[in-house]
């Protein structure tokens, strides 16, 4: 059933993928691998994975076909690797999202967040409004603010530095996790300086880490369909590597379930693994299933309706296996998947639930239905509900201890794993 619907989707979705990607993705979905061939391949892949032995691309692709008992076996192996890597704790961070503007003319075809300035739902926060949200975050107990926004045509590159100054003035101790590689490219270009100079300036103004968003799928043919080439995969990698070299760590993401296919997923995760082997700068890997409901590319009939739940389970589990020994933390996004599905995925390779967020605009505007905030007790109850141990973390996976009234007692930062930072 799954393969029949994927074949039907493929005929519609991959029609304008340029060669040879067109053939590769079509072929992948069209090929029905006989179970008698697939099962030994999956068994062999899992046998190697649980012994921490590398698996081939073909074996990784076989894992992305796992169904029924094979899927359960895949998740069990991923869960075992998770337990060996990080133990029984499931982490989360108390943070606040601040999406400072939704005005953007880049025109990514998957994005339902961007608005034109004249649109009734467009907004741009003033610096005072940003400061107010930061003060509210501190009152709420947040240790992190996460700031990302649209590429506003009228804001200068120095606006990013003004935002950092504003946050630091309002809350000197809060960790600033901000600016996707797309925003870093925009800021550097507008200021006429290199990525390195811009990132160094941001660090001087208080930037702590950057989100590894705008990665989508690190394949330029897919990126062309999704974003019209706004940020080539090599540029994303260059910015992330530069950040890591400067001691600015980042997350790593994949957005899947639109015009992509499992071969892209394998190459994407391998690429993330290669960067990590060189820099050690990624804090976590975050699979983000495509939220299709209001996405222009879906409404135009050019993308499929997001990943299935089984695909999300496979993605988290295969990522745990392919990144074994490289990135210890695999995050499941409750905003994209909901708490019930997230709890199941925490039993299949994931160990982190992300942030409390306080407000969430990007997924909500895309059509996600899972709410915009979670209080720490809600996350902790869900974690205890699956028999694991909740642990509040910092952005970089140190630990936060609080007293009964929620005041921070101490923060133990993780030992930095960055290699060659300067
Ligand atoms: S994803 Fe970001 S850059 Fe692309 S249209 Fe949306 S807000 Fe703009």
> Which ligand 1 atom sits nearest the alpha carbon of residue 107?
5
> Which ligand 1 atom sits nearest the alpha carbon of residue 182?
3
Say how many Å lie between the CA of residue 150 and the centre of ligand 1.
Answer: 6
Q: Give the whole-number percent of the chain exceeding pLDDT 90.
A: 82
Is pLDDT at 5 greater than 50 in this prediction? no
Residue 26 is predicted with a pLDDT of 63
Say how many Å lie between the CA of residue 105 and the centre of ligand 1.
Answer: 8
CB 99 within 8 A of CB 107: no
Pocket around ligand 1 at a 6 A CB cut-off? 104, 106-108, 111, 113-114, 150-151, 182
Is pLDDT at 418 greater than 70 in this prediction? no
For the purposes of burial, counting CB atoms within 10 Å of the CB of 191, is it exposed (0-12), middle (13-18) or buried (19 or more)?
middle
Is pLDDT at 3 greater than 60 in this prediction? no
CB 373 within 8 A of CB 360: yes
What is the rounded average pLDDT for all residues in the chain? 91
**pLDDT tens digits, 153-166:** 999 999 999 999 99
Say how many Å lie between the CA of residue 351 and the centre of ligand 1.
Answer: 29
Residue 39 is predicted with a pLDDT of 87
Identify the band that residue 417 occupies on the pLDDT scale cut at 50, 70 and 90. Answer: low
Residue 21 is predicted with a pLDDT of 41
Q: pTM, whole model, 2 decimals?
A: 0.92
> Which ligand 1 atom sits nearest the alpha carbon of residue 102?
7
Residue 253 is predicted with a pLDDT of 98
Mean pLDDT of 193-211: 98
Is pLDDT at 422 greater than 60 in this prediction? no
Mean pLDDT of 115-134: 96
For a mutational test of ligand 1's pocket, the pick from 103, 105, 106, i.e. the residue with the most ligand atoms closer than 8 A to its C-beta, is: 106
Q: State the Cα–Cα distance between residues 387 and 393, nearest whole angstrom.
A: 19
Q: State the Cα–Cα distance between residues 234 and 221, nearest whole angstrom.
A: 13
Residue 230 is predicted with a pLDDT of 87
Mean pLDDT of 103-111: 95
Say how many Å lie between the CA of residue 362 and the centre of ligand 1.
Answer: 10
Residue 212 has which token pair?
A: 């590894």
**pLDDT tens digits, 55-90:** 999 999 999 999 999 999 999 999 999 999 999 999
Q: Give the whole-number percent of the chain exceeding pLDDT 70.
A: 91
Q: How many CA atoms lie within 13 A of 151 on its CB side?
A: 19
Is pLDDT at 405 greater than 50 in this prediction? yes
Nearest CA to ligand 1 atom 4: 108
Identify the band that residue 10 occupies on the pLDDT scale cut at 50, 70 and 90. Answer: very low
Q: How far is CA 337 from CA 331, 365, 382, in A?
A: 12, 15, 14
Question: Of the CATH numbers 3.20.20.70, 3.30.1490.20, 1.10.3720.10, 3.90.1260.10, which one belongs to the domain with range 89-412?
Answer: 3.20.20.70
Mean pLDDT of 220-249: 95
Say how many Å lie between the CA of residue 180 and the centre of ligand 1.
Answer: 10
Nearest CA to ligand 1 atom 7: 150
Mean pLDDT of 1-11: 36
**pLDDT tens digits, 340-389:** 999 999 999 999 999 999 877 777 788 887 778 899 999 999 999 999 99
Q: How far is CA 225 from CA 109, 260, 366, 418, in A?
A: 8, 10, 18, 34
Residue 1 is predicted with a pLDDT of 33
For a mutational test of ligand 1's pocket, the pick from 101, 150, 185, i.e. the residue with the most ligand atoms closer than 8 A to its C-beta, is: 150
Say how many Å lie between the CA of residue 385 and the centre of ligand 1.
Answer: 36
């Amino acid at each position: 059933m799954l393969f029949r619907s994927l074949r039907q989707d493929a005929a519609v979705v991959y029609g304008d993928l340029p060669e040879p990607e067109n053939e590769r993705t079509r072929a992948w979905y069209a090929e029905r691998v006989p179970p008698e061939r697939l099962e030994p391949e999956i068994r062999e892949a899992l046998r190697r994975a649980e012994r921490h032995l590398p698996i081939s691309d073909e074996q990784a692709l076989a894992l992305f076909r796992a169904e029924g008992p094979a899927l359960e076996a895949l998740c069990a192996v991923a869960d075992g690797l998770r337990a060996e890597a990080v133990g029984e704790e499931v982490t989360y961070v108390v943070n606040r999202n601040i999406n400072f503007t939704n005005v953007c003319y880049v025109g990514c075809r998957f994005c339902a967040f961007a608005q034109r300035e004249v649109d009734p739902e467009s907004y741009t926060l003033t610096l005072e409004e940003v400061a107010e949200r930061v003060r509210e975050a501190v009152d709420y107990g947040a240790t992190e603010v996460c700031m990302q926004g649209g590429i506003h045509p009228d804001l200068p590159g120095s606006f990013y530095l003004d935002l950092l100054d504003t946050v630091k003035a309002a809350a000197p101790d809060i960790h600033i996790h901000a600016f996707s590689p797309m925003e870093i490219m925009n800021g550097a270009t507008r200021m006429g300086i290199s990525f390195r100079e811009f990132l160094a300036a941001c660090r001087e103004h208080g930037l702590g880490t950057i989100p590894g968003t705008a990665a989508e799928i690190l394949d330029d043919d897919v990126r062309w369909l999704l974003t019209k080439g706004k940020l080539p995969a090599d540029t994303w990698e260059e910015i992330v590597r530069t950040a890591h070299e400067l001691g600015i760590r980042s997350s790593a993401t994949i957005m899947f379930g639109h015009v992509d296919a499992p071969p892209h997923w394998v190459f994407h995760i391998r690429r993330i693994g290669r960067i990590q082997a060189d820099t050690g700068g990624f804090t976590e890997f975050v699979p983000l299933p495509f939220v299709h409901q209001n996405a222009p590319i879906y409404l135009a009939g050019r993308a499929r309706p997001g990943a299935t739940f089984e695909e999300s389970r496979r993605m988290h589990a295969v990522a745990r296996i392919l990144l074994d020994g490289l990135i210890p933390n695999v995050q499941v996004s409750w905003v994209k998947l909901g708490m019930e599905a997230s709890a199941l995925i925490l039993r299949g390779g994931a160990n982190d639930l992300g942030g409390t967020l306080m407000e969430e605009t990007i997924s909500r505007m895309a059509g996600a239905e899972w709410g915009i905030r979670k209080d720490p007790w809600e996350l902790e109850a869900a974690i205890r509900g699956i028999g694991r141990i909740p642990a509040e973390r910092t952005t970089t996976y140190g630990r936060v201890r609080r007293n009964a009234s929620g005041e921070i007692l101490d923060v133990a930062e993780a030992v930095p794993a960055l290699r060659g930072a300067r």
